[in-house]
Structure 1
Amino acid sequence: MTAMETESTEQMMSTGAPSQLIQSMHRDYIHQVKFDVYGRRIATCSGDRFVRVWELQETGEWMLTSSWQAHKSSVTSLDWAHPEFGSILATCGSDNHAKIWEEQNHTTAATTTTPGSNSRWVVRASLTEARRGVTCVEFAPRYWGLKLAVGSSDGCVRIYEAIDIMNLTQWPLAATLQSFAEGSNKGCTSLSWSTGRFEAPTLVAGGSHLVLYRYAKNSTGTQAWYPLLKLPSPDKGDVLSVAWAPNVGRRFHYIASAEDSQLRIYKLSRELVPPTSNSGGAVPTVLSTQTIPTHAWQVQWNVTGTVLASSGDGGKVQLWKTNGSNEFELVSEVHGDQEGNSLPAQMDF
């Protein structure tokens, strides 16, 4: 969830206890907070150009272990790679760059970071193809290899892949997808990969609308990325955040999008059906769409895709879950300015 806190404010981060408040130590707005796969490390990025990494100690306390200047301007997004590839972070910023960082255990790593920073992280690659600020990065699920999707304000989604995971300095550009008009308000604002392991690699990009892409054979029989489906534009403004629900045995997909004054949840079929016209390939069916009037800037699913969290400008996180009618309803709220927050005992994750 995006947090809008400064150095003097405290942030709530969940541990085994109901909540824990820690000082962010950032000097500007925090743009993103990301847990690693195991939930024992947190990375934060901010408008102060810094990235900070926190680790959960045996005492249950979060300790700051690394802090470094990652970009020459605001750091807008970051993501952890799966640990089977090593300890790797991707970051991006309004300086038009996305960067690949690797954690080192040796003190010699300090020679490649910003002087005065406290970090074991070294930059391995800078991805500079974006023509405007880079807004979002997300690694693909591990079973599709070490791939990274990068969205930028120029309206493009770019797919990079580390062909040799032992050489993180080489990230060839595999595809450039002009998803939104370059003159659009914000370009590409968010990305999310499908986790369907037995389906072709698929992702959704958010901006002036939502568009799904799939990597599969095209009409010439070669593998390529192609637009799979375009979903309707928000009633006003752009999509601010999009999240593809993890699929654990369901026969359909959920995609949630935050659209400022509303939260929208799409239910899509896993099977592709032939198009109604002669143009284009098979597409998924939109089974249902639910629109919830609430302020939503960020959305994220839990690991089983059964609970959706959304956050807006009210300093609270709302948790949504399906009821007996398969409609999402509000089941809990967590307020960031109250220490005693906890989830209800009947909450099933």
Structure 2
Amino acid sequence: MASVSEDNLELQEIQKLEGHTDRVWGLAWNPTSGADGVPAVLASCSGDKTVKIWQKSPSTSSFHLKATIEETHTRTVRSCSWSPSGKLLATASFDATTAIWEQVGDDFECLATLEGHENEVKSVSWNASGSLLATCSRDKSIWIWEALPGNEFDCVSVLQGHTQDVKMVLWHPSEDILFSCSYDNTIKVWAEDGDSDDWHCVQTLKEANNGHSSTVWSISFNATGDKMVTSSDDLSIKVWGADIVRVQSGEGYAPWKHLCTLSGYHDRTVFSVHWSREGIISSGAADDAIRLFVENQDDLGDGPMYRLLSKKEKAHEQDVNCVQWGSKESGLLASSSDDCSVKIWKLGPRH
């Protein structure tokens, strides 16, 4: 990848992946692919009730459709997430279920269907060890599932705290701390009580403490896990920080604090943000655009500020629903849209 210190970089479209017949909601790169000679693998999920698996060909460097998962879900598949081992794929659907899939040869076999939410499941996320799975729903609840031997999944906690539709759940990249964001404009942080094993809300980030003033759609962490970025219907992107060393040393929960707000870069809802391993924040929005931001190394102020690195005005024909960086080695960015397509991008010198 080109150096992010350059100002003459632009997102270059590598390939457009077509095949979905309805809007493409979520994307997930297989974490064990795209490095060490393993071809990059990307999952996309759609309103057409399917999940498609795309694989990069080593010979042509282009992506091709490897498999289509079209059984089990009877409504929109809203979110997909690979386990850290890359062996299992979880898919969350508006049919109120979450399915767990395993690749067997060139096909995917459904190992389990998790039921319990009253209605649409909006997001699914694995923790760093692959031992826990979190799901959230329009029913305002968050469920935590434990992965047991024999491909069994047991619900160990139902978290109530949001007052509206929960849009996304995401585990911290190294700690068993869960983050959720909602239509109620808040981000909640959940942790397990070491004494009772009960999960509870340890912090709520809201407008009163420099939080968002409208629906929060997306959360992502930097590589080290000491910074978090969120995006919202209020058209802003916010960066938060925490003393994660304190957590890792067993000193207890470290609260998250607002570091800065990026606004004025999108003029419609920012649906997705994702932080690359190199420290580039990508954002996708309902204005059909993608923006890239990096920390401003020249800043002499009181904290990290971020600057616009690159912008793509008409990245898609319609809303950009999701942006996801691949492995550091691949340097690829994937985006999905209401225009039924997935696009693969690379950051390169401006022509």
TM class, shorter-length? 0.7 to 0.9
Structure 1 residue 131: deviation in Å?
A: 1.0
Report what 2:224 is aligned to.
247
The percent identity for this pair of structures is: 19
- Are 2:15 and 2:62, in contact at CA under 8 Å, matched by a contact in 1? no
Within the alignment, does 1:57 sit opposite 2:57 as a pair? Answer: yes
Mapped contact 1:229–1:283 kept (Cα < 8 A): no
Aligned to 1:14: none
Structure 1, 234-243 or 66-75: larger mean CA deviation: 234-243
Conservation of the 8 A alpha-carbon contact between 1:228 and 1:283 = no
Larger Rg: 1
State the Cα RMSD in Å: 2.6
Change (3 A) 1:322 1:333: same
Deviation at 1:268, TM superposition (A): 2.3
Q: Residues of 2 paired with 1:131 and 1:340: CA distance? A: 35
| 1:33 and 2:27 are equivalent in the alignment | yes
1:188 maps to what in 2?
Answer: 166
1:332 paired residue among 310, 314, 322:
310
Structure 2 residue 75 is the aligned partner of structure 1 residue 93: no
Displacement after TM superposition at 1:195 (Å): 1.7
**How far does residue 286 in structure 1 lie from its aligned partner after superposition?**
1.6
Answer whether contact 2:80 2:89 (CA < 8 A) is retained.
yes
Instruction: Name the structure 1 match of 2:263.
Output: 292
Q: Distance in 2 between matches of 1:288 and 1:238?
A: 20
1:73 is matched with 75
The aligned amino acid for 1:264 is K
| Cα deviation 1:213-269 (Å, max 9, x = unaligned) | 12241xxx2333221211014654310111122217xxxx21111112111111223
In structure 2, the CA distance between the partners of 1:232 and 1:287, relative to structure 1 (3 Å rule), is closer
Between the aligned partners of 1:345 and 1:158, the Cα distance in structure 2 is 44
Structure 1: give runs of 5+ residues left out of the alignment: 1-16, 106-118, 274-280
Residue 271 of structure 1: how far off its partner (Å): 5.9
Structure with the higher fraction of residues in strand conformation: 2
Counterparts of 1:1-349 in structure 2, within 5 Å, are 18-37=12-31, 38-39=33-34, 40-58=40-58, 59-70=60-71, 71-83=73-85, 87-105=87-105, 120-142=107-129, 145-164=130-149, 167-168=150-151, 170-181=152-163, 184=164, 187-196=165-174, 200-207=175-182, 208=184, 209-217=186-194, 221-233=195-207, 235-247=212-224, 253-260=226-233, 261-270=235-244, 283-284=254-255, 286=257, 288-293=259-264, 294=266, 295=268, 296-304=270-278, 306-323=279-296, 324-325=298-299, 326-334=304-312, 335-336=314-315, 342-345=346-349
Q: Post-superposition shift, 1:283?
A: 4.6
Paired residue total: 288
Say whether the 8 Å CA contact 2:262–2:306 is kept in structure 1.
no
In the TM superposition, what is the alpha-carbon distance from 1:342 to its structure 2 partner?
4.9
* Alpha-carbon distance change, 259 to 42 in structure 1, aligned in 2, over 3 angstroms: same
Distance 1:160 1:188, change over 3 A: same
Aligned partner letter, 1:227: C
What CA distance in whole angstroms lies between the structure 1 residues aligned with 2:345 and 2:273?
Answer: 19
| Paired AA for residue 336 in structure 1 | A
Q: CA deviation at 1:44?
A: 0.6
Would you say the 8 A contact 2:14–2:344 is kept in 1? no
Change (3 A) 1:235 1:160: closer
TM-score, normalization by structure 2: 0.75
By how many angstroms is 1:36 displaced? 1.0
Where structure 2 has 5 or more consecutive residues not aligned to the other structure, the ranges are: 1-10, 35-39, 318-342
What TM-score do the two structures reach when normalised by structure 1?
0.76
User: What is the CA–CA distance in structure 1 between the aligned matches of 2:179 and 2:172, rounded to whole Å?
Assistant: 8
CA displacement at 1:67 relative to structure 2: 0.8
| Structure 1 Cα separation of the partners of residues 274 and 241 of structure 2 | 16
Matches of 1:340 and 1:283, distance apart in 2: 37
Find the residue that maps to 1:132 and give its secondary structure: coil
Contact 1:78/1:91 (<8 A) preserved: yes
